Amino acid sequence: MEYRQMRYVLKVAEERSFSQAAKKLYIAQPSLSQCIQRLEKQLGVLLFDRAVTPLRLTFAGERYIDTAKQILALNDQLIQQMDDIADLKTGRITIGSSPFRSTYLLPQVLPIFQKQFPGIEIVLAEGTTAELEEFALNGTTDFSIVLLPLAEDIFAYEPILTEELLVALSPEHPLSKQNKGSNSNQPPWPTIKISQLKEVPFILMKHGQRLHHTLLDLCAQAGFKPKIILESQSMEAAQALVVAGLGATLLPDTLVRLRHMSEHPCYFSIEEPINPRTVVIAYRKERYLSKAARLFISLMKEIHK
């Protein structure tokens, strides 16, 4: 069996379609089908049930997938070890990050790292918090930039920074004037109680982002269910909509301090007790981290300490 064949089978299983897998692999569908048919003949079993749509793995196919993932992961780790031996003249780091952190945290690190190690390729895999944890778990990324808490029996992690959560309101909102709101993007900020926002419509982050659940939990603790006017994938968009007067939103102070807008909303610290968010670099326990990955993590910790 070849690694190429394994990657082909994994892609077909992921897409549940020969045609879609062929597009993602940039090969002709007949070539892909023939390759997998040859493999099935060699193994003496069928890996896919072709009588159903979409395709479904057979029992043998499920066992093949499980083992192929382990083999490819071991192969990837061997390649990383060989890159170390090459003294960082070549290599690759795959980093999992949300679009927000890609925009505001990585630009402070990447230029310095690439100047020091120009032969190391940086690959970025973006997703929601849940997706980033999955990326780190299954080896799609060397590590992912995520938030605590994590399943500590599965993940190892290294803290990078802590964030305060802020409420953003339009400067024209009565609560902004009542609470002496400030549109400065630097601390200290005036305080507001979550309970004061009971009648204020909220712009909520999409499901799968940690802020989505955090806002719902905060409002539940304050004894009300928030009025959601819309959901957004983008914190920048939510902030702009707040400026336009659509409602309130919850934002990390990292975004507020680093985002320079022509017009800012009013920002408030939350008066109720709330733990700060801890941003960490997480990777699966027992995973081999290349020398390049370890150096990147050290540099990021140094810059954001």
| CATH code (residue 99) | 3.40.190.10
Q: What is the 3-state secondary structure (H, E, C) of 51-107?
A: CCCCCEECHHHHHHHHHHHHHHHHHHHHHHHHHHHCCCCCEEEEEEECHHHHHHCHH
Predicted confidence at residue 261, as pLDDT, reads 73
Q: Are residues 184 and 264 in the same domain?
A: yes
> How far is residue 297 CA from its own chain's centroid?
16
Query: Total domain count for the chain?
Result: 3
H or E stretch covering 278: strand 277-284
Q: Are residues 152 and 290 in the same domain?
A: yes
Q: Are residues 170 and 251 in the same domain?
A: yes
Rounded CA-CA distance 106/177 in Å is 36
Rounded CA-CA distance 96/53 in Å is 32
Predicted confidence at residue 83, as pLDDT, reads 80
Rounded CA-CA distance 180/190 in Å is 7
Q: Are residues 49 and 148 in the same domain?
A: no
Whether the predicted pLDDT of 164 surpasses 90:
yes
Residue 36 resides in a domain: yes
Q: Are residues 282 and 270 in the same domain?
A: no
Q: Are residues 186 and 244 in the same domain?
A: yes
Tokens encoding 201: 């419509």
CB atoms within 10 A of CB 52: 9
Whether the predicted pLDDT of 253 surpasses 90:
yes
Whether the predicted pLDDT of 147 surpasses 70:
yes
Instruction: Note down the domain range covering 199.
Output: 165-275
Query: pLDDT-based confidence at 248, cuts 50/70/90?
Result: very high
Q: Largest Cα–Cα distance of the chain, in whole Å?
A: 75
Residue 266 resides in a domain: yes
Q: Are residues 152 and 170 in the same domain?
A: no
Task: Choose the weakest-confidence range: 97-101, 122-126, 135-139, 178-182.
Answer: 178-182
Residue 74 resides in a domain: no
What mean pLDDT is predicted for residues 211-230?
95
Q: Are residues 290 and 146 in the same domain?
A: yes
Query: pLDDT-based confidence at 2, cuts 50/70/90?
Result: confident
Q: Which positions ≥6 away from 46 have C-beta within 8 Å?
A: 40, 58, 60, 61
What mean pLDDT is predicted for residues 205-232?
93
At 49, which CATH number? 1.10.10.10
Contact predicate 145/94, CB 8 Å: no
Report the relative pairing of strands 143-147 and 277-284 from DSSP bridges.
antiparallel
Predicted confidence at residue 1, as pLDDT, reads 64
CB atoms within 10 A of CB 123: 12
Count of CA atoms in the C-beta half-sphere (13 A) of 188: 6
Q: Are residues 173 and 225 in the same domain?
A: yes
Q: CA angle at residue 212 from 206 to 214, to 5 degrees?
A: 170
User: Which pTM does this prediction carry?
Assistant: 0.72
What mean pLDDT is predicted for residues 54-65?
94
Report the relative pairing of strands 155-163 and 249-252 from DSSP bridges.
unpaired
SS3 233: coil
